[in-house]
Structure 1
Amino acid sequence: MTQTGNRLEDLRKMVAEVLEVDTEELTDTGHFVDDYEADSLRAIEILARIEKYFKVEIPQHELPELTNLKEVHEALLRHDRQG
């Protein structure tokens, strides 16, 4: 698996844990609020875990755009200095 693929799976595990769903239930495009009943505190927790685990900084103003796993992964790739 590629580094990007590994990163996506790490993200999937992390986000699934915060949303309290199985990793198999968490799709790339499933909406965190509509499909998984996430609230703003869970969104902030997801962002904090990503920043700590991947050692990146994603600006808080991007938080409203991070509505699904695909968007979170794309933000991680944009802000990750390691590529």
Structure 2
Amino acid sequence: MNLTESQRSKIHEIIADALEISPEELKPTLRFKEDYDADSLLAIDILATLEKTFKISIPQSELNRMVSLEAVYAVVLDAQPQVA
């Protein structure tokens, strides 16, 4: 199972907004902390917004994985209920 284009777009929008940058500036593999000067509080805010938006639960332990846009896609995908 993969994320839909709509889901990917929404995640992109959420993160760009949290980082206070334009969506065009947010590249899939650039790292939030190193490339955008994000801090751990911002990561928690992003996690909470993703949970609320997608009605999923993401363990706080996943914050360590949420280092780039691509990584967040994977975390959200993993958090979604799997349909048999």
Note whether the superposition's TM-score is higher than 0.5.
yes
Structure 1: how far apart are the matches of 2:13 and 2:5?
Answer: 12
Report runs of 4+ in structure 1 exceeding 2 Å deviation: none
Identity %: 41
* Uncovered stretches (5+) of structure 2, i.e. residues with no partner: none
* Structure-1 residue corresponding to 2:71: 71
Letter of the aligned partner of 2:24 in structure 1? E
TM-score w.r.t. the length of structure 1 is 0.92
Contact 2:12 2:69 in 1 (8 A): yes
Structure 2 counterparts to residues 39-54 of structure 1, below 5 A: 39-54=39-54
Structure 2: how far apart are the matches of 1:15 and 1:45?
Answer: 10
Distance 1:56 1:24, change over 3 A: same
Helix, strand or coil: the match of 1:24? helix
CA deviation vs aligned residue, 1:33-79 (integer Å, no higher than 9, x gap): 01111001100000000000000111101101110011111111111
Letter of the aligned partner of 2:55 in structure 1? K
Aligned length: 82
CA RMSD of aligned residues (A): 1.6
Structure 2: how far apart are the matches of 1:17 and 1:61?
Answer: 23
* Structure-2 residue corresponding to 1:29: 29
TM-score w.r.t. the length of structure 2 is 0.90
Q: Following TM superposition, by how much is the alpha carbon of 1:82 offset from its aligned partner in structure 2, in angstroms? A: 6.4
Q: Following TM superposition, by how much is the alpha carbon of 1:6 offset from its aligned partner in structure 2, in angstroms? A: 1.1
* Uncovered stretches (5+) of structure 1, i.e. residues with no partner: none
Structure 2: how far apart are the matches of 1:7 and 1:76?
Answer: 9
